[in-house]
Amino acid sequence: MVHYRRFRNTDPPDLVRLWHQCGLGRGAATGFGCDAWDLLVLSQPYFDPRGLILAWEGDRAIGFVHAGFACNSDQTGLCHETGVVQAVMVHPEHRRRGVGRELMRRAETYLKSAGAGRILAGPAPPGDAFYVGLYGGPVPCGFLQSDAAAEPFFMSIGYEPVQRIGVWQLDLTKHRNPVSYRLSLIRRGTRVVVQDAPDHATWWWFTRLGRLDTLHFRLLPKSGDSTLAEATVIGLELYVQKWRERAVGIVDVYVPEPERKKGYAQALLCEILRRIRDEYVTRVEAHASESNAPAMGLLQSLGFTQVDTGVVYRKVSP
């Protein structure tokens, strides 16, 4: 008989074992132990044991669901109005028995009791409170379509897709930066500054990306300090066993409004790619919402190809 309970401090070995046994697809890190789980999940300041619910049969954990919340608009705390199912999985030998459905019901009950009027499934900014560095590459981007069991499951329990995020990768062993007159002019008139974190890093940034190896790049004019473009690079060490190569992710690419459509983002990313290639990195991953045509165009211009899609779902029926 299956019984359900909230997280206990003795559970991490069972949670890590389930993660590795559930076949989550290309976008889930593998080979890590309880130390990584503790750092990236349990030690978050907003971790609530009531939101991590396990299913047990006898003395064996056979599934779990983890529910949390998005951040508020200024990224200084949580927004309890929006609840997000961060992860849900059931051991392959115990699927199609209603375990996943019951786990989701209990997660939804928890979120509603904490004030959520809107429930999403699939961690993605600004709702990626957990599993940064463990799922989705550099940051979670919903539940990946490469996990074939995800979409049919959520559709069957009253969820519908509300956002699709493209997962793009670049093979640096075959890549050559684009060459153009505009890029040449930008290189002559700018400089790149590298720092550990953005100047404007928020509490939300430090709770998530601050736990990983990051470098923040800023493109500046040679004669001034105004930012023309910026981006953060994240090391993906936990994916080495899955992908069999060194990889990094590029996130938070940003160009101030007055400087857009001038080639600064492309110029900065070209310089980033040149520098990380020199560090023997062979693969780069970046994400772009399918509604963000400029971002997808930027990645295509640099030779990235789409390898997966993350999907965020919304609860629409009981």
Q: What is the reported pLDDT for 177?
A: 83
Cα-based distances in Å from 37 to 43, 151, 173, 201, 282: 9, 25, 32, 24, 26
CB 194 within 8 A of CB 203: no
Q: What is the reported pLDDT for 220?
A: 98
Spell out the domains of the chain, with CATH numbers in brackets.
2-165 (3.40.630.30), 170-309 (3.40.630.30)
Q: What is the reported pLDDT for 224?
A: 86
**Per-residue tokens: 8:** 């206990």
CB 218 within 8 A of CB 271: no
Full pLDDT tens readout for the chain, 318 residues: 999 999 999 999 999 999 999 989 899 999 999 999 999 999 999 999 999 999 999 999 999 999 999 999 999 999 999 999 999 999 999 999 999 999 999 999 999 999 999 999 999 999 999 999 999 999 999 999 998 889 999 999 999 999 999 999 999 999 888 888 899 999 999 999 999 999 999 999 999 999 999 999 999 999 889 999 999 999 999 999 999 999 999 999 999 999 999 999 999 999 999 999 999 999 999 999 999 999 999 999 999 999 999 999 999 976
Q: Which residues of 188-206 are buried (b: 16+ CB within 10 A; e: fewer)?
A: eebebeeeeebeebeebbe
Gap between the terminal Cα atoms of the chain: 25
Q: What is the reported pLDDT for 139?
A: 96
Q: What is the reported pLDDT for 166?
A: 98
pTM value surpassing 0.75? yes
Cis peptide before 12 (omega within 30 of 0): no
DSSP for 93-142, written as a single string? GG-SSSHHHHHHHHHHHHHHHTT-SEEEES--TTS--S-TTTBSTTS--S
